[in-house]
Amino acid sequence: MSKSIAFIICANDDTYLEECLFYINRLHLPDGYVADVYPVRQAGSIYQGYNLAMQQSAAEYKVYLHQDVFLIEADILMRFLELFAQHPQAGLAGVLGADSLSADRRFYRSWNLGNVIGCSEKKAFRNFLSENPARAAALDGMFLMTAKDIPWREDVLSGWDFYDISQSLEFARQGYELWVHAGKQPWCIHDCGYLNLTGYDGAQEAFLKIYQDSLPDYGGQPKVYAENYREQFALMMELKEQWKSLLFLDKVSEVRKVLEQVWDERFVDTEMAIIKNILEILQTEEQGEVPLEERFLHDCGSFEQAQRKYLQTKFYLRRLKYAADDVGLCPHVSAVAEQIIRQHTMLGRLL
């Protein structure tokens, strides 16, 4: 087993992956260690993707990381290796977790340990839940570091939900401790966006069948999302695809009007939030009489191009704060666009 640390990332978006790797490449490695990166593309499930990379790597420590997590603390690896050294029974550690298993079916509300920054595309927020290392009962999957290899349960589970709770319970079953490492400053930024939870209940039912002996009894509790939630969400996704095209058919005002009428954060995904922010940029640029050739969409021929421009601008603004020595190039955008993107995606004076 080599003296190395493997980063394992299931990826489906090159823009996010590039930025994730940018921050990985800035990390300070402990003496004698090397880092390897295993991007996994087109995985059938996160369980499958993680198992595939785990089997390919002989690294002593492995970090399972979301592509939209940016490690802004350059010493995070050294701090986590110190944690493992101080607690020999620790097998799994993360940046966000809970000291007890969720009392209800909304597992994502149970986190009460950790210190990270999140961003929904409509606002940035700080999950400052604790500032010292602590034992945990379950960990969030945005960042998971292992000192032991235990297979991910692709033999009985699939999809992209509950893998982190599953792996937490697998490590605990084998006698290993789980830890959340936290300090006074956040370790990372998670561009979590808006979660698509249409498959949450189905994935949870499969998960509960496997781990019912290790969990509280949720039998008397209703499912988290009713059938009409899935129907409404599907309808909003259909509308979103239409809006993507209409933005480039000189129908900006029509898209803005409809979006304002139907906006409901229960049925929003990350792309919809970006569309709403772009519409705000366009309206403010028009009101401020920004020249046409300087407006946000002037050099974009598709939503994909506009989204990449938006993300690259956001990442540039973040680098000004967290990687000032290597900010790279910012897309050509107006000061109005920079201001609005910063407003929705950065903490400003809060940190």
pLDDT digits (tens, 9 = 90+) for 132-153: 999 999 999 999 999 999 999 9
Q: Which of 181, 214, 247 is the last residue of a domain?
A: 214
Q: Which of 158, 188, 214 is the last residue of a domain?
A: 214
| 249 in the same domain as 199 | no
| 131 in the same domain as 206 | yes
| 64 in the same domain as 101 | yes
**Per 3-state DSSP, what percentage of the chain is helix, strand, and coil (rounded to 5)?**
45, 20, 40
Q: Which pLDDT does position 2 carry in this prediction? A: 61
Q: Does residue 125 fall inside a structural domain?
A: yes
Q: Could you tell me if 239 and 217 are in contact, meaning their C-beta atoms sit under 8 angstroms apart? A: no
- Between 5 and 199, residue with greater pLDDT: 5
Element (H, E) at 274: helix 270-287
| 280 in the same domain as 190 | no
| 316 in the same domain as 272 | yes
Q: Does residue 227 fall inside a structural domain?
A: no
Distance separating alpha carbons of residues 168 and 181, to the nearest angstrom: 15
| 165 in the same domain as 35 | yes
Q: Which of 183, 214, 245 is the last residue of a domain?
A: 214
Average pLDDT over residues 314-328: 96
| 137 in the same domain as 37 | yes
Mean of pLDDT over the chain: 95
Q: Tens digit of pLDDT for each residue in 237-264? A: 999 999 999 999 999 999 999 999 999 9
| 189 in the same domain as 291 | no
DSSP string over 148-214: S-----TTT--SSSSHHHHHHHHHHHTT-EEEE---SS-SEEE-------TTHHHHHHHHHHHHGGG
Distance separating alpha carbons of residues 172 and 231, to the nearest angstrom: 38
* Residue 90: alpha-carbon gap to chain centroid: 24
| pLDDT surpassing 50 at residue 161 | yes
β-bridge partners, 188: 71
Number of helices (H), then strands (E), in the chain: 10, 13
Its domain, for residue 154, covers 2-214
| 166 in the same domain as 98 | yes
Q: Does residue 224 fall inside a structural domain?
A: no
Domain count, the chain: 2
| 239 in the same domain as 161 | no
Q: Which pLDDT does position 351 carry in this prediction? A: 38
Q: Tens digit of pLDDT for each residue in 24-53? A: 999 999 999 999 999 999 999 999 999 999
Q: Does residue 221 fall inside a structural domain?
A: no
Share of the chain above pLDDT 90, in %: 90
pLDDT class of 196 with cuts at 50, 70, 90: confident
| 168 in the same domain as 237 | no
Q: Does residue 185 fall inside a structural domain?
A: yes
Q: Does residue 225 fall inside a structural domain?
A: no
| pLDDT surpassing 90 at residue 347 | no
Q: Give the CATH number of the domain where residue 200 resides.
A: 3.90.550.10
| 113 in the same domain as 11 | yes
Three-state DSSP class for residue 57: coil
